[in-house]
Amino acid sequence: MTEPNAEPSAPSIWLWPRLGPVRGVASLLGGGVALAALVAMLWGAPFWVWIEVGLLALALPLMCLDRVDAHAYVRAVLWGVFAVGAAGAAYRSEVVDLGLLLGTALCLLALGGKGFDAKHGSFTPRVLRRTLLTMMVTGLCVAHLLSLGALIGLSHSPWLTVALAASPALLIAGVLGLSRTRGWGLFAYLGAILLMVATAIAVGQADFSGRFARVGHLPSGRQLVVALWTVAAGLTALVGLPVMTALVFKRRPRE
């Protein structure tokens, strides 16, 4: 209820936030372009790589939902696909790579903060809402990329794939817990960070007898795994630093 002497709020000078229908069409258009570019990029690739196409295809209808967890998944997939496109553009610079970059960038720009203010679902934190949202999106995106990296182990041994997939699986469990504002979700998130560090150290010290061959200009599989898992651990730890600081120093967190 507005007070009698309250001043009317000034209208926003930004036009983009008020273009709801146009932004919805733009997000679907960008997602469709990215999906088509991804299919063209992966044409003829091994069947397990096509999981990436399924993840992106699932994200398109989830854009229309008014749920925080759905939009966290959408952003994570889009950022993961954007990273794949950026890596492809850096090493090949083909049209499909540029289409993947432009499509995901348009989709992310059009979505903006849509869905993150939704009141539906079980995500109802009292403090650090933006930090927890960032942790959820980052965690899912990192798990997405690490799962792709874990598939490198298929050329060596299924057991290696299971070992590499342990940390993204634990990270996904942590994100599920955070989406329900459960304490065990935070501990699973922190445990995944420690497991990523342990995996990077173990792979770096292991002897694979040269079975990780070089692929084009990419570093060897061992170096790629160590670099990816190390960067992922650092990124997830950095994003969760405000929550970890509040726990260690027992201070009331502030947004």
pLDDT confidence tier of residue 179, bands split at 50, 70 and 90: confident
Write down the pLDDT at residue 198.
Answer: 87
Are 113 and 144 in a shared domain? no
Write down the pLDDT at residue 88.
Answer: 73
Single residue among 72, 100, 121 that ends a domain in this structure = 121
With 80 as the cut, is the pLDDT of residue 123 above it? Answer: no
Are 249 and 224 in a shared domain? yes
**Most confident option among 5-9, 90-94, 134-138, 156-160:** 134-138
10 domain residue, yes or no: no
The whole-angstrom separation of Cα 53 and Cα 247 is 39
Given 3-state DSSP classes, what are the helix, strand and coil percentages for the chain, each rounded to the nearest 5?
A: 70, 0, 30
Are 67 and 138 in a shared domain? no
Are 173 and 56 in a shared domain? no
Tell me the pTM.
0.72
Are 140 and 250 in a shared domain? yes
Q: Which helix (H) or strand (E) holds 25?
A: helix 20-42
Single residue among 121, 144, 175 that ends a domain in this structure = 121
With 80 as the cut, is the pLDDT of residue 23 above it? Answer: no
> 3-state SS of 58-120?
HHHHHCCCCCHHHHHHHHHHHHHHHHHHHHHHHHCCCHHHHHHHHHHHHHHHHHCCCCCCCCC
Which has more confidence, 165 or 19? 165
Are 174 and 243 in a shared domain? yes
Q: Provide Rg for the chain, Cα atoms.
A: 20
Write down the pLDDT at residue 153.
Answer: 61
Are 107 and 135 in a shared domain? no
Q: Which two tokens stand for residue 231?
A: 């960067």
The whole-angstrom separation of Cα 51 and Cα 19 is 33
Which has more confidence, 255 or 40? 40
Find where tokens 């935070």 sit.
186
In tens, the pLDDT along 33-89 reads 888 888 888 787 767 777 888 888 888 888 887 778 788 888 888 888 888 888 777
Which has more confidence, 138 or 179? 138
DSSP 131-166: HHHHHHHHHHHHHHHHHHHHGGGGGT-HHHHHHHHH
Choice among 81-90, 163-172, 206-215, 237-246 with the minimum mean pLDDT: 206-215
The predicted model gives 128-154 an average pLDDT of 80
The phi, psi pair for 114, rounded to 5°, reads -60, 135
Instruction: Give percent above pLDDT 90 in the chain.
Output: 0
The whole-angstrom separation of Cα 3 and Cα 78 is 43
In tens, the pLDDT along 208-217 reads 554 444 433 3
